[in-house]
Structure 1
Amino acid sequence: MSTSVLPAAGAHEALETTAAREATRGLVEITKVRKSFGATEVLEGISLTVEPGGVAVIVGPSGSGKSTLLRTINHLEKVDAGFIAIDGTLVGYEVRGRRLHELREKEILRQRTEIGMVFQNFNLFPHLTALENVTEAPVVAPRAGKPRLSKAEARERGLELLDRVGLKDRAGAYPRQLSGGQQQRVAIARALALDPKILLFDEPTSALDPELVNEVLDVIRELANSGTTLIIVTHEMGFARDVADTVVFMDQGQIVEQGTPEQIFTNPQEDRTRSFFSKVIEPAFNI
């Protein structure tokens, strides 16, 4: 089945410009994206660019569209208008004439191998060990342009990634034998297994007990210095200030304000931004 979306006025020229860009790794361009569920418009013309190797952290109240925006980047949610491109290639669609036509599922799945995603609730396979969870994808569905790894190669790579997140000694453990923080670190290793161009984090600590949060945030901090493009939805404001190049504040389906952590946290320009931070940030944080 093919779904088509007619770009807004001027978008056709933008599509051509995007497609003509010199090849990069991890450039994310979100242009005038709209998304509705029934009569409720959840994303109201969102435009955002994240440069290669950049770290964009999206904050805002519940229901502001943050997670929906994240899910449109890898086409888990189809956009109703606008478009998203990674390194100049449209995500989920191709251009025919002046319309966007949805790609076939096989092509969409191939695109997703370049976009790692870490969910709130880990989503590990319960019948596989930590190592097997990490090695499954490189053997079964390697990233486009990458050779399929042998089981021995995948095991070696998987152990390296588990070591990177501090869990090499738990390679043989099943998810039920791991704490929530350990499961989330396995999920991060799994997302890294295909060497993605970008990593998406959808509130990666929201399902964790407070004492387990820092072990996951420490791993993401290390990734933020690795050169991989990261887009993170989080409610951890101190963490956002620490790792972000760009902080994006969303409310009611719109980007209200964006800028450096210093700009957004210490001198927000919009009343809605100031009101939100006055409720979620302790006074001592903003010194």
Structure 2
Amino acid sequence: MIEIDGVHKSFGALRVLRGVSLKVAPGEVAVVLGPSGSGKSTLLRTINHLEKVDAGTVAVDGELVGYRRSGDVLHELPEREILRQRTKIGFVFQNFNLFPHLTVRENVAEAPLSAQRRPKAEVAETVNRLLLRVGLSDKADAYPGTLSGGQRQRVAIARALALDPKVVLFDEPTSALDPELVGEVLDVMRDLAKSGTTMVVVTHEIGFAREAADTVVFLDEGLVVEQGPPDQVIDHPQHERTRAFISRVL
């Protein structure tokens, strides 16, 4: 479902990604671990072309993201085509990114109505179903400012799912939450994982990685240092850098 092949990304002289390759099969959950500054969030943002790659390619469901290939040359797609591709790639941000002037219901409905132009009745049914799924049916007419951080992040997850994406990306979805609110968000993510949603999750929640991930990727200094099943990478890491990181976060 996701194929990242030799991706490089620099910001000026800073090399953030240095030839990252990763495959995620349909229905798999990949958890990306690593220290701050290792390139985790940048990698996630290349998957939906929020960051343009300097070299390499990203494909989702067999389609190159952000580019079309002409022989050996890649040409960047027009913005409207990139926006179309993004409707297939849900993204849950660290800081929610909800529209403060819209209700919960309106936040979740906005993209299906404006980007996909789906019928209002169909979208309304989708919104009701998703709010029930994330446990927020009673908050449909509330505004984000009246919600807890955990509730806002659950709204953000419902919003990402409203587009019926092929994959959902999570960029440290619990790092901005008070500790007592983390569990309610992870519960929703566990439910998604069990339902067969293809997910790439950047997180420091080792318990979630051990329980829900099919594959764990340890990234450091823009390189994939180690990847494999959770019981291998978390419990029996082969690389000294991975062992040092895991020992600090456990």
Do they fold alike, i.e. is TM over 0.5? yes
Q: Does 1:263 align with 2:232?
A: yes
Task: State the alpha-carbon separation in 1 of the partners of residues 148 and 174 from structure 2.
Answer: 13
Q: Which amino acid aligns with 1:212?
A: L
Q: Aligned-pair distance for 1:152?
A: 2.3
Kindly report which structure 2 residues correspond to 1:211-222, keeping only aligned pairs within 5 A, or say none.
211-222=180-191
Tell me how far 1:158 sits from its aligned partner: 0.4
Choose the corresponding residue for 2:32, options 58, 77, 81.
58
AA of the residue aligned to 1:122: F
List structure 1 runs of 4+ shifted beyond 2 angstroms: none
Distance 1:152 1:266 in 2: 48
| Residues 119-128 or 133-142, more deviating | 133-142
Is 1:155 the counterpart of 2:129 in the alignment? no
Q: Percent identity?
A: 70
Alpha-carbon distance in 2 for matches of 1:97, 1:153: 41
> 1:141 and 1:113 mapped to 2: Cα distance?
7
> Structure 2: how far apart are the matches of 1:97 and 1:150?
40
Partner of 2:153: 184
Residue 175 (str. 1) matches residue 175 (str. 2): no
Partner of 1:251: 220
Match of residue 275 from structure 1: 244
Letter in 1 for 2:156: A
CA distance in 2, matches of 1:245, 1:77: 26
Distance 2:204 2:60 in 1: 26
Secondary structure of 1:266's match? Answer: coil
> Structure 1: which 5+ residue stretches go unaligned?
1-26, 143-147, 282-287
Structure with the greater alpha carbon radius of gyration: 1
Offset, 1:208: 0.4
Q: 1: CA distance between counterparts of 2:235 and 2:165?
A: 33
CA RMSD of the aligned region, Å? 0.7
Deviation at 1:103, TM superposition (A): 0.3
Q: Tell me the equivalent position of 1:230.
A: 199
1:143-184 Cα deviation digits (max 9, x unpaired): xxxxx3222221121011000000001000000011110000
Q: State the AA in 2 paired with 1:134.
A: V
- How far the C-alpha of 1:249 sits from its partner, in A, is 0.4
Query: In structure 1, which of residues 63, 70, 84 is the aligned counterpart of residue 44 of structure 2?
Result: 70
Q: How far did residue 97 of structure 1 move? A: 2.3
- Which of 122, 126, 133 aligns to 2:107? It is 133
Q: Residue type matched to 1:106 in 2?
A: R
| 1:105 counterpart letter in structure 2 | E
Report which structure shows greater RCO (CA 8 Å, sep ≥6): 2
Which AA in structure 2 matches 1:253? G
TM-score w.r.t. length of structure 1:
0.86
Distance 2:34 2:211 in 1: 17
Aligned to 1:239: 208
**CA shift for structure 1 position 210:** 0.4
Distance in 2, Cα, partners of 1:278 & 1:151? 50
Task: Tell me, in whole angstroms, the C-alpha distance in 1 between the residues paired with 2:173 and 2:234.
Answer: 21
What pairs with 1:109-120 in structure 2 (closer than 5 Å)? Answer: 109-120=83-94
Count residues with an aligned counterpart.
250
State how far apart, in whole Å, the 2-side matches of 1:100 and 1:161 are: 38
Q: What is aligned with 1:19?
A: none
Give the secondary structure class of the aligned counterpart of 2:234: helix
Match 1:47 to one of 11, 15, 21: 21
Q: Could you tell me which runs of 5 or more consecutive residues in structure 2 were left unpaired when the two chains were aligned.
A: none
